[in-house]
Structure 1
Amino acid sequence: MSATPTPGTPTPAAPSPAAGRPRHVLAVLVLIPAVVALALWAFAWPAARTAPRDLPIAVAGAPAAVVGLERQLERKEGAFEVHRYDDEAAARAAIEDRDVYGAIVATERGPRLLTASAASPVVAQMLKQTATAQAPKGAPVQVEDVVAAPPGDPRGAVLGTSVLPMALAGVAAGAVVTLLGLRGVRAACALVGAAALVGVVAAALTHSWLGALTGDWWTEAGVLALSTLAVSAAVAGLAAVLGRAGIALGALTVVLIGNPFSGIASAPELLPEPAGAIGQWLPPGAGGTLLRSVSFFDGAAASRPAWTLAVWAGAGLVLILVGGAVRVRRAG
């Protein structure tokens, strides 16, 4: 026989659903430090190990003089990937085609350095130091910036810092579409429309206002839109097949790996291996490289990063459509 509560006696509160779940506390204690460790590793490790690794540069001039330059560069084992050209015109063309970052030309008046600060101001400065150190004592080094960074962004700061905001915009778009319950074609259309608007806004800020980009305005807007879509579609696509855990997985991949491994602030070849290579296969690195190509180099070397972004965007949209179709079938 159950006891009847005495009037005025407080009824014991029902236990909280979360009470007695030490696993949740343990998960927080383990997960948060793990994420912090991952972030510190991803951001601090490349920054602490910045150095040239198979950095493609050119030497040009008479064979006898070029041999000496090659030997001096090869003494720094693994630092440079040296390409030889017959004359200055060929070396200049290689820079403009983004085959090399710069060139040391042997002339009768001493070495002449060709750089491309638009490709990487950090590398351009590094090549100046290298050419000066290798020049005969007291011999001045003539420097010409073949493809100069724009006056509005001479140090490449705007382009370098734009990678993270664009990645965050993509993550936010993918997460919002998922949390609002958009599925299938509606989700895909929403992401494409949002990416297009982001591209226009970003081009207006970086090109029209800040003067950090100097290429065709609509082409730059298209690259910025594709970069955003590659991230947002990937995040929403993962969420469509994995649930909300897909948002976290996409965000961690793009923000904590893709952003610091992009090499946009310096150059992929200055990052420790294999960080630079990995970064170019992720949307932030591919997007930044493609934006440099269309803005400063008339689209040279744009095919690979363009295809990389297209694959990310296409795969994400396919996952969204497939996930939406599966949900409809289950509901029916």
Structure 2
Amino acid sequence: MPAATAPSAAAGRRTLAVLVLIPAVAALALWVFAWPAARIAPRDLPIGVAGPATAADAVERELGRHEGAFEIHRYEDADAARAAIEDRDVYGAVVVTPGGTELLTASAGSPVVAGLLREAVTAQAPAGARVQVTDVVAAPAGDPRGAVLGASLLPLALVGAASGVATVLLGLRGAGAVTTLVGAAALAGLVGAALADSWLGALTGSWWAEAGVLGLTVLAIGSAFAGLVTLLGKPGFGLGAALTILLGNAFSGMSSAPELLPTGVGALGQWLPPGAGGSALRSVSAFDGAAAGGPLLVLSLWAAAGLTATALGSRRRRAEAPTPEPAPAPAPVG
């Protein structure tokens, strides 16, 4: 009887653990994704103001009433403001001219921010005054609301995670593991560019640059997974999923902008592969690569660290593996 009771008790504990763990994970996932979305608001959002000093000062004072919302950059004229938008220094600019107020936006950088600026500037304009809106860098016709670009991050994260997990579970080590991760990422980048650019028209920049960013994003995620699992074992699966799928996507800011997320969340998201990959993809797709250097550096660091951990960790584990003792010699017969 006791022998039969022990397995039953162990099974009961495992069942209880699952019943507690699943709701906890569900609550955590919902919180991570829903909390930033419920707190969308501008926080030190960089925008420009251009025009005669007196008029520009008045605009800056009006915008300053939204405490902590905007980070104001001053420019001499509309041309300088346009250049700053194209370089991704600011999301938009208010230009004061003798003929009235003009708002310069970049819906390719964030359709949500472009709409927010339009509402804010129109609301503070004098009654009856018309605000001319010019979209300096327009979103692609195939993705006017940025929905395709925002939705592409989760599939990229899943593909990267799958490549890392498969590399580990298949027992690939050292150079073989590195070659597999790099090759899978390169192919994923080519397929992604073919779908998002050639088919859907959601990306409109250099095809090869887009494929490179997509591939590097997958490589950063896949190598991070493989490296963490190689070094930590089973806990590496959970840590990799938390960083690249859960937090990485929720904090990326791709559906809005990093500066619209709660303080610190958007900045953290840009240090994780999905957020860095999304920002780099926006830069090469619509802004001729402007401001892509930082995100590409983040992706490269993740990829380099993951590949190094995968290669060296596998070598260390082989060195630490116990050497099987030789079988005892058979006893002499007779």
Cα deviations by residue, 1:256-315 (Å, 9 ceiling, x for unpaired): 111010001110001111211110000000000000001111111111100000010110
User: Pairwise mapping of residues 39-188 of structure 1 onto structure 2 (< 5 A)?
Assistant: 39-188=29-178
- Indicate if the aligned counterparts of 1:39 and 1:256 stay in contact, CA closer than 8 A: yes
**Moved runs in structure 1, 4+ residues, more than 6 A?**
none
How far does residue 13 in structure 1 lie from its aligned partner after superposition?
12
CA distance in 2, matches of 1:140, 1:18: 77
Cα deviations by residue, 1:8-34 (Å, 9 ceiling, x for unpaired): xxxx99749853225423432332222
Describe the SS at the equivalent of 1:201.
helix
Cα deviations by residue, 1:200-220 (Å, 9 ceiling, x for unpaired): 000000000000111110110
Matched, 1:214 2:225: no
How far does residue 323 in structure 1 lie from its aligned partner after superposition?
1.1
Which residues of structure 1 form unaligned runs of 5+? Answer: 1-11
CA distance in 2, matches of 1:16, 1:213: 61
Identity %: 63
Structure 2 partner of 1:225: 215
Structure 2 partner of 1:299: 289
Cα deviations by residue, 1:171-196 (Å, 9 ceiling, x for unpaired): 11111111111112111110100000
Distance 1:224 1:33, change over 3 A: same
Structure 1 partner of 2:279: 289
Higher deviation after alignment, 176-185 or 226-235: 176-185
How far does residue 251 in structure 1 lie from its aligned partner after superposition?
1.0
Distance 1:175 1:208, change over 3 A: same
Cα deviations by residue, 1:115-165 (Å, 9 ceiling, x for unpaired): 000000010011111111111110111110000011111111110100100
CA distance in 2, matches of 1:112, 1:33: 51
Q: Which amino acid aligns with 1:283?
A: P
CA distance in 2, matches of 1:185, 1:27: 39
Q: Which amino acid aligns with 2:237?
A: I
Higher deviation after alignment, 185-194 or 27-36: 27-36
Higher deviation after alignment, 240-249 or 41-50: 240-249
**Residues paired across the two proteins, number:** 321
Matched, 1:20 2:1: no
Cα deviations by residue, 1:62-103 (Å, 9 ceiling, x for unpaired): 000000000000000011001111111111110000000000
User: Which of 238, 250, 257 does residue 248 from structure 1 map onto?
Assistant: 238
Matched, 1:264 2:260: no
Which residues of structure 2 form unaligned runs of 5+? Answer: 324-334
Higher deviation after alignment, 27-36 or 68-77: 27-36
Describe the SS at the equivalent of 2:109.
coil
